A and B are shown apart, each in its own frame.
Chain A
């Protein structure tokens, strides 16, 4: 019996979400009194794999198979299911990111294991096994009982945080048997967003709405995000208009994020927008309209014109950084 965590890598390196998953897995394993097993797929150097040891991984399985070079949801499901069965995993944890959302439901059917998707905490109880997850797009939370002996969980990003628990892991190279005919996905083009922080991984996000007025006004907003070491985001109309790239769209129909700090500039705070950002730990709103609904969600607010307030904020941050 074990807790199995699958963690993705990007060209051989892990990101914050990988360490968060391992932190979660280690705590869950501890709660259940079972060992944690971490699975990595692809070519990852041992020095990189060892970094997972900082967050509680003591046993890492490293799997590189030609059938898993392209991401095919059926093949990945098959591989993870084989490892889960071999390790007698009673919980399999993946990220609630694009890959996790693609694989977890398939895995649930394959292993006939109930799925808890987008969970943000350790289980509320382990017998019965009850998880806590967002529902109604952040307008509520649900306590969901998973009734099967094996469970699949996907962890919402930035919900659990990193928990250091350093140690040296053992690394085993493993293999699975996957018929290459199972791989049906062919990839003809890859566009990479290189070097940039993943919006879903960012701890600070500065986001602009229609109140930014034009695509030419984003200079100070981007500068503020850079100075704070954060990422930039936007509301849906802004990406629909093409003022900002689609990857930045947050909300019900865009990305769901949970940074420590979310600064909403010229965003009215429609329910559908809040659906994507309401799990942020602190929300700051800058808006000319003192009655804008965003101030109901915000902990700090400035009623004022973004064009005037943003440059002053940039100056204030620079000043504090100098000290």
Chain B
């Protein structure tokens, strides 16, 4: 079996974002770019599955839609342990555009299990995985919190509102993963970093697709009111404030 992990290149999760160009663009000055946390966990789980020969995973590849500036993030994925990478050389227009490009990658290079994160921490659309599956006309399992291979077949746990289910679907399919899929992201070893330099990144040119949406502008959340402190010896005052001032009780 072959696994593809789709990765998004996002600002580090502690970044205080700022915007430029009349709030139309992210100010990329000083931003540290990382693999989207979900994608890092997907990659970790894919590699864990490959570590056990009984699972019969031959390859773990990663795919990214983005410009050459994202290559350090792709190299990082290779250093963590991915065998090869695909990069579609285009500005990621919107989720629809990205999913359409990834679909072309998969059509030309078939995979059995395709991992996508449940969301990208920048645009929070929760969209690429489902869109990719629909473009390919294959099943998708969403909110996946565990995946194992049992007797050669993938078995997944998915979260549903108010519970969880154990499910199976035939390959190929898209697994849209969330918390639980792997505990801690795997980190690159020294050897991994060395070998990543020689691993292939296949650069593909995009197909012509019009995005369906565009960001007009960003805004920062409204400033929070200053905190009112309550005497720890008199928490009753807090309850009164919540009742009479904030009116939430």
Contact = CB atoms under 8 A, between A and B. Distances in A.
Partners in one complex: yes
Interface of A: 8, 10, 71-74, 77, 96-99, 101-106, 108-110, 112-118, 130, 133-148, 154, 184-193, 196, 198, 200, 204, 228, 240, 246, 249, 252-254, 260-261, 270-272, 275, 278, 281-282, 284-285, 295-305, 308-309, 312-313, 316-317, 319-320
Given A105-B130, A188-B166, A130 B216 contact: yes
22 contacts: A73-B142, A105-B129, A109-B130, A109-B131, A135-B124, A136-B15, A139-B221, A143-B218, A154-B126, A184-B170, A188-B167, A189-B166, A253-B38, A253-B178, A272-B14, A281-B248, A284-B242, A300-B229, A303-B229, A304-B232, A316-B235, A320-B239
Interface of B: 11, 13-17, 19, 37-38, 94-96, 99, 118, 121-131, 133-135, 139-143, 145, 155, 158-170, 173, 176, 178-180, 183, 211-221, 224-225, 227-233, 235-236, 238-239, 241-243, 246, 248-249
Contact of B183 (A109, A130, A240, A302): A240
Contacts of A116: 213
Given A74-B140, A299-B227, A105 B95 contact: yes
A43 B158 CA distance: 23
B212 A112 contact: yes
A-B pairs, 10 with minimum CB distance: A105-B130, A304-B232, A102-B142, A114-B212, A109-B134, A189-B166, A316-B236, A106-B134, A192-B163, A105-B127
B238 A300 contact: yes
Contact of B232 (A77, A146, A253, A303): A303
B212 A99 contact: no
Given A198-B162, A261-B249, A143 B126 contact: no
Contacts of A313: 235, 238-239
B131 A108 contact: yes
Nearest to B229: A301
Contact of B221 (A115, A138, A253): A138
Contact of B161 (A112, A144, A198): A198
B123 to A, nearest CB: 6
Secondary structure of the B side of the interface? Answer: mixed
Contacts of A271: 13-14, 16
A115 B99 contact: no
Contacts, number: 274
Contacts of A254: 179
B114 to A, nearest CB: 14
Given A96-B126, A105-B129, A108-B130, 13 more contacts: A74-B134, A101-B176, A106-B131, A134-B124, A135-B124, A141-B220, A142-B217, A185-B141, A299-B224, A301-B229, A308-B232, A316-B238, A316-B239
